[in-house]
Amino acid sequence: MKKITLSIVVLLFSLSANAQLDTNSTLYKTIKTCDSLLFTIGFNTCDISQFETLVSDKFEFYHDKSGITNTKVEFITSIKDGLCKMDYKPSRRLVAGSMEVFPLENNGVVYGVIQNGKHRFYALDKDEVTRLTSIARFTHLWLIENGKWKFSRGLSYDHINMEEK
């Protein structure tokens, strides 16, 4: 009976040790700040410097509707020459309460995190009308490179086009 109880305690501890971070933890808040810099500042205002700073040189992005982006340069170019030149102003908003952060460790030292969540995309047209265009899930891999958090891999999937509904 002691072995079973001990096994259950070890199992529960190992599950909780690898669980998502508490939203009040420093690491969770750090990744939320990185997300905000990348999207609220970078994506929503076309501040390309945020992408240049935060995106890893080894970047890859997988999108269920537009395919694979293999490099940082290709990703930034697609934003600068595509997103930032649209007839409307695109905006991305993180769905409140959807973000989860899971630390990645090597011998007890954090080297990265997996960030999951949902986001909504909007369009502000020239008449100042905002409309919801799509909702999607995302998974981001953030790695520490030379002491700085870098957006290394991105998956954007399960897009629901709200304009077709």
CB neighbourhood size of 103 (10 A)? 18
Residue 162: pLDDT above 80? yes
Distances (CA, A) of 27 to 34, 100, 112: 11, 11, 10
Does residue 16 belong to any structural domain of this protein?
Answer: no
Distances (CA, A) of 140 to 80, 85, 132: 21, 25, 22
Does residue 11 belong to any structural domain of this protein?
Answer: no
What's the mean per-residue pLDDT of the chain?
89
Q: How many domains does the chain have?
A: 1
Does residue 111 belong to any structural domain of this protein?
Answer: yes
Does residue 123 belong to any structural domain of this protein?
Answer: yes
**Region 91-100 average pLDDT:** 97
Q: Which residue has the tokens 């999937």?
A: 157
CA atoms within 13 A on the CB side of 130: 7
What is the residue type of 35?
D
Does residue 7 belong to any structural domain of this protein?
Answer: no
What CATH number does residue 139 fall under? 3.10.450.50
Q: Using 50, 70 and 90 to split pLDDT, how confident is the model at 69?
A: very high
What does the pLDDT look like over 6-21, one tens digit per residue? 333 333 333 344 578 9
